[in-house]
Structure 1
Amino acid sequence: MKKILITLFCAASLLSYSQNDEKSEIMQVINQVFEAMRTNDSTLLKQSFVESPNTFTAFINQEDQSQLATGDFQRFIDAVGQPKDQVWNEPIWNEKVEIDGNLASVWVDYAFYVDDQFSHCGVDAFHLIKREDGWKIFHLVDTRRKSDCEVPDEFKP
C-alpha cells in the first residue's frame, strides 16, 4: 500500500511539473505579443501567431448594443511595426491557462496605455495550438471599455 501511494504521489508530481512547464511556455508566447507591442517589433509579434489567425473585439456600442468586430491581423502587424513616438503598453494580470493536449486557452485582464496615458481595459482571450515549432496563437478576442476598470496599482504606470 505504501509503494502504491508513493508511486501515485510521484506520478502526480510529474504531471503537475509538466503542466506548469506547459503553462510557462504558453505564457511566454502571450508575453511576447505584449513585448512586441512595446518595442514596435512586428517580426516578434508574427512569431507568436499561426499564419492567418482570427481576431475579434467584443464591445458595447454607444446605443448600448453588444457588438463583435472582426479584426484585420495584417493591419495589427503593420500598426505594431510602425515607428511611433509613443509606447504601447498593455500590462496583463489574472492569467487563467487551460490545456488539453495540443490546445490551450488563456484568459487575462489587461489595461492599455499609450505612454502613461490610460486608453482602455478589458479581457484578452487567446486560443493556442501546439505545433512542432511550439505554441502559436490561432484565435484572439478582446473586450474593450473605458470605465469600470480595476487596474491593480502594480500595473499602472
Structure 2
Amino acid sequence: MRHLFLGFCLLLLQPAVSQEAEVKQTILDFFKAFHARDTVAMKAVIDKEIVFHTVSEKASGVVMEAQSRENFLKSVASMSKSIAYEERLTGWNIQVDKKLAHVWTPYEFYVNGQLVHTGVDSFQLYWKNGFWKIIYCADTRNRL
C-alpha cells in the first residue's frame, strides 16, 4: 500500500516536473543561441513582444536600462566573433503555474575566460502554441 501511495504521488508530480524541465530547456536554448550569436535560434525562444531590462550600478547610482527585442538581437549579432562571451548559470529557481513561468538564475559573466561581473537573470515565460516563450528578461550586473 505504501508503494502504491508513493507511486500515486510521483504520478501527480510528473506534469510539474515536465513543465519545469521544458522551461529550463528554453532558458538553456536561449543561452546556447546567445553564446553562438545565433539570432535566428534566439527568435525561436523569445516572444515578439519581449522586453529586456538591466539594472546596474553606475557612478551616478543605480540605473535601469530598457532594450527592445530588435536592439537586443542587433547587439548580439554585432558581438565580435574574436571575443568569447560566456554567461555561466550558477543556480535555478523555477516556478510554473500551468501557462506562466518564472525563472531566477544567478550567473557569472566571462569575457575571454575572465570573470567581469556577476548578477541574476529573471525570466518570465508563457505557454504559446505548445512551446514556452520568453516574454520578459531582467538582469542585474554587479561589479566585482
| Alignment of 1:97 onto 2:104 | no
What are the ranges of 5 or more consecutive residues in structure 2 without an aligned counterpart? none
The match for 2:41 among 29, 44, 64 is 44
Post-superposition offset of 1:7: 6.4
> Which whole-Å CA distance do the structure 2 matches of 1:88 and 1:75 have between them?
18
Counterpart for residue 63 of structure 2: 67
- TM-score, normalised on structure 2? 0.89
Which TM-score applies when normalising by structure 1? Answer: 0.82
Aligned to 1:125: 122
Amino acid at match of 1:37: F
Q: How far is 1:17 from its partner? A: 2.0
Q: Counterparts of 1:6-17 in structure 2 under 5 Å? A: 9-17=6-14
Larger radius of gyration: 1
Provide Cα deviations, 1:16-56, integer angstroms capped at 9, x if missing partner.
22211111111111011111121111111111111120110
Runs of 4+ in 1 over 3 A off after TM superposition: 5-11
Instruction: Give the drift of 1:136.
Output: 0.4
- 2:83 touches 2:112 (CA, 8 Å); kept in 1? yes
Q: Larger deviation: 6-15 or 136-145?
A: 6-15
Where relative contact order (Cα < 8 A, 6+ residues apart) is larger, the structure is 2
The equivalent of 2:76 in structure 1 is: 80
Q: Structure 1: any 5+ residue segments left out of the alignment?
A: 148-157
Instruction: Name 2:107's counterpart in structure 1.
Output: 110
TM-superposed deviation, 1:106: 0.2
The question of whether the paired residues in 2 share the 8 Å contact of 1:49 and 1:136 is answered with yes
* 1:90 match: secondary structure: strand
Which amino acid in the other structure matches residue 120 of structure 1?
Answer: H
State the 1:59 CA deviation.
1.9
Within 5 Å, give how 1:127-146 maps onto structure 2.
Answer: 127-146=124-143
Give me the CA root mean square deviation: 1.8
Number of equivalenced pairs:
143
Q: Secondary structure at the match of 1:145?
A: strand
